[in-house]
Amino acid sequence: MTKMIGLKQAKMDLEKLTEEIRRSKDRLLIEKDGLPIAVLLSIDDFEDLMETVGESSDSEYLASIREARAEYRRGEVDMLEVPYTITKNADSMSVQVVIELRDKQGAQMVLQAINAYKVRLRAGIERTRRRLAQFERRYGVDTAHFLREMAAEDLEGGDLEYVEWAGEAKLLEGLETELSELEYARYHLP
């Protein structure tokens, strides 16, 4: 759960807040003049974050992401222009995307990028499940029950906690859908 506190209050209560974060595994968003400026989080959350950053710390990989984003901002890439074909068979409908590369090395790089992304998705799914489990243990109900039956008034943290729990559930759904699509993806090299 993420709580918010002003910078002045955080300064005065830092020792108490640090102990509370350590015990509860909550996160504390520190604000100054109404703007978030820092986060105080448990060592577990920090290690999860560093694991995620570590997975994507390859400088070549990060440089390629920055360049792709720059190309997109300059209007040099339009994702809607990616060629695709829709094929129908008796069992299902699928979409085929054709990506032309200079050589097999480029193809291997694309496959490695997809596999690296799947690893990050799996890590995100596990982190999100752990966060959902914290809510479930705290309130003694599963997330499905929470979404069907509970309102912000039922939670100690009110609206903020409700939005966070519901947001984690929505995030998990999106991550699992994305991973499922990538797991289904098939490819062949000529």
Would residue 123 count as lying in a domain? yes
Would residue 81 count as lying in a domain? no
The pLDDT value given to residue 137: 93
State which residues form the domain around 100.
86-190
C-alpha 119/C-alpha 113 separation (Å) is 10
Would residue 130 count as lying in a domain? yes
Confidence of residue 77 (pLDDT cuts 50, 70, 90): low
The residue ranking higher by pLDDT, 55 or 123, is: 123
Beta strands in 33-118 (DSSP E): 35-41, 84-88, 93-97
Would residue 20 count as lying in a domain? no
The pLDDT value given to residue 75: 64
Look up residue 27 and give its DSSP letter: E
Confidence of residue 176 (pLDDT cuts 50, 70, 90): very high
Pairing of the two strands 35-41 and 84-88: unpaired
Would residue 115 count as lying in a domain? yes
Total number of domains constituting the chain: 1
C-alpha 171/C-alpha 75 separation (Å) is 29
Residue range 100-154, pLDDT digits in tens = 777 777 777 888 888 888 888 888 898 899 999 999 999 999 999 999 999 988 9
Would residue 120 count as lying in a domain? yes
Would residue 102 count as lying in a domain? yes
Pairing of the two strands 84-88 and 2-6: unpaired
The pLDDT value given to residue 79: 46
Across the range 149-164, mean pLDDT stands at 87
CA-wise closest residue to 25 among 5, 42, 50: 42
pTM above 0.95, yes or no: no
Would residue 1 count as lying in a domain? no
